[in-house]
């Protein structure tokens, strides 16, 4: 879309008819994360963009704007043939129940990253939590503030299940964060879930080469994904804001700190899905918690509460849900004031002893999974998941 139509989209509302957004007033108080002024400024900055960010990003902007100013989507679904309004409605609906505060913050982050990507005034001028790099992600919100890079999984309507595209974006975000000047890198999720693990629909997109080709490509992606954690050179912190499943749990053994809300749970239902462990958990879990507790999780699908996961050493500390965000972020802001080189070099010393081992474990886990993904056990389990959904 050309510049004119982008302006139309932001100002005269031709593309997504922003004029249909009802007039609103904010309280003139500061919001959690982004202030009223920052939100207004982000809106103004949107109209200065020179490049068209693409329909998907524009739909996201629309959805965040609606969520921020109106709240969760509560309007009737447009008819199948009303393509534009249906796309807008789907995008808004996909934000689920995220709060207006969070939507305002995400809106500022997104506009900030678009402005920064064009090399205009820095994202810092737009957003309370500006983008860490000039990368714009479709499935993540990446921001920096107070020397902390935050990578937030951003598919709340799908409980932050990780699609193929999202794996690629996380790898890229980790590589960018490894190079930036921030002291800490934080991983967290948007909405009520931390992450529901691998998006099971990844298994339903069978390429022409068949299931074997899908499994091989998936294996290579998984190998690179886990490698990005093994090689990550700076302190990596998980802020587990809700339930965590599958690969989002297994990689935790490679994080330097794991802070969890007391409402979080930790579940690795691999055998239930006809699969096998990844994220180096077949090595890190027995080391962290002993082999019988690791077996309960990795073989027998035992779901742990946050407190249980803390007792087993997978989680560093558990916080009450009501004060989770404020307590954790104030702790992290103080940690981020420590000398960055000392922190990074100390982490590297602690991890270097087992780095080769982790790469070998990653390779072995990937090989096993490539075989599992082509098995009847896995096929039947994934089909059952989607059939159960279809019956609801």
Residues interacting with ligand COA, by CB under 6 A?
158-159, 161, 196-201, 245-246, 269-270, 273, 389
Distance CA 301, CA 283 (A): 17
Q: Where are the beta strands (DSSP E) in 265-374?
A: 265-267, 304-305, 317-319
Distance CA 286, CA 236 (A): 21
- Shortest Cβ 134–ligand COA spacing (Å): 30
The residue among 117 and 200 lying less far from ligand COA, judged by its C-beta, is: 200
The residue among 10 and 198 lying less far from ligand COA, judged by its C-beta, is: 198
The residue among 102 and 199 lying less far from ligand COA, judged by its C-beta, is: 199
The residue among 222 and 257 lying less far from ligand COA, judged by its C-beta, is: 222
Question: If you count them, how many residues does the chain have?
Answer: 392
Distance CA 381, CA 150 (A): 34
- Shortest Cβ 192–ligand COA spacing (Å): 8
- Shortest Cβ 121–ligand COA spacing (Å): 37
Distance CA 18, CA 1 (A): 17
- Shortest Cβ 355–ligand COA spacing (Å): 25
The residue among 100 and 201 lying less far from ligand COA, judged by its C-beta, is: 201
3-class SS at 267?
A: strand
Alpha helix ranges (H) inside 299-337: 306-311, 324-335
The residue among 40 and 220 lying less far from ligand COA, judged by its C-beta, is: 220
- Shortest Cβ 386–ligand COA spacing (Å): 8
- Shortest Cβ 161–ligand COA spacing (Å): 3
Judge contact between 114 and 72, C-beta under 8 A.
Answer: no
- Beta-sheet pairing, 244-245 with 265-267: parallel
Distance CA 125, CA 138 (A): 22
Q: Which tokens hold the place of 175?
A: 């590589």
Q: Which tokens hold the place of 157?
A: 């309507």
- Shortest Cβ 193–ligand COA spacing (Å): 7
The residue among 154 and 198 lying less far from ligand COA, judged by its C-beta, is: 198
Judge contact between 262 and 371, C-beta under 8 A.
Answer: no
Distance CA 2, CA 269 (A): 47
Distance CA 170, CA 229 (A): 10
- Shortest Cβ 311–ligand COA spacing (Å): 23
The residue among 246 and 253 lying less far from ligand COA, judged by its C-beta, is: 246
Distance CA 305, CA 309 (A): 6
The residue sitting closest to ligand COA, measured at its beta carbon, is 246
The DSSP 8-state label assigned to residue 12 in this structure reads I
Q: Which residues have a Cβ under 8 Å from the Cβ of 311 and sit 6 or more positions away?
A: none
- Shortest Cβ 191–ligand COA spacing (Å): 10
The residue among 140 and 177 lying less far from ligand COA, judged by its C-beta, is: 140
């Amino acid at each position: 879309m050309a510049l004119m139509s982008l302006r139309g989209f932001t100002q005269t509302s031709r593309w997504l008819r922003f004029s249909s957004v009802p007039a609103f007033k904010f309280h003139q108080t500061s919001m959690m994360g982004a202030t009223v002024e920052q939100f207004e400024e982000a809106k103004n900055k949107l109209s200065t963009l020179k490049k068209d960010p693409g329909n998907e990003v524009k739909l996201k902007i629309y959805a965040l704007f609606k969520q921020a100013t109106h709240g969760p989507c509560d309007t009737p679904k447009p008819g199948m043939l009303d393509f534009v309004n249906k796309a807008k409605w789907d995008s808004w609906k996909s934000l689920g129940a995220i709060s207006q505060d969070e939507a305002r913050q995400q809106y500022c982050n997104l506009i900030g990253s678009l402005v920064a990507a064009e090399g205009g005034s820095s994202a810092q001028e737009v957003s309370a939590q500006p983008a860490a790099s000039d990368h714009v992600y479709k499935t993540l919100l990446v921001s920096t503030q107070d020397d902390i890079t935050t990578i937030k999984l951003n598919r709340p309507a799908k409980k932050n299940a990780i699609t193929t595209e999202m794996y690629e974006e996380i790898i890229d975000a980790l590589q960018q964060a490894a190079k930036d000047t921030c002291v800490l890198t934080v991983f967290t999720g948007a909405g009520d879930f931390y992450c529901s693990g691998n998006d099971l629909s990844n298994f339903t997109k069978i390429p022409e080469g068949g299931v074997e080709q899908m499994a091989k490509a998936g294996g290579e992606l998984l190998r690179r994904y886990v490698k990005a954690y093994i090689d990550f050179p700076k302190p990596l912190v998980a802020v587990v804001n809700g339930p965590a499943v599958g690969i989002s749990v297994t990689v935790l053994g490679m994080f330097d700190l794991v802070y969890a809300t007391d409402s979080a749970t930790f579940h690795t239902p691999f055998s239930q899905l006809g699969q096998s462990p990844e994220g180096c958990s077949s090595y890190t879990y027995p080391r962290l918690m002993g082999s019988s507790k690791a077996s309960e999780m990795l073989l027998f699908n035992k779901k742990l509460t946050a407190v249980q996961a803390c007792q087993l050493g997978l989680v560093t500390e558990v916080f009450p849900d009501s004060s989770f965000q404020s307590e954790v972020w104030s702790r992290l802001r103080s940690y981020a004031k420590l000398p960055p080189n000392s922190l990074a070099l100390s982490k590297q010393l602690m991890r270097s002893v087992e780095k080769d081992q982790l790469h070998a474990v990653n390779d072995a886990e990937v090989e096993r999974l490539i075989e599992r993904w082509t098995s009847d056990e896995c096929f039947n389990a994934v089909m059952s998941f989607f059939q159960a959904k279809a019956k609801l």
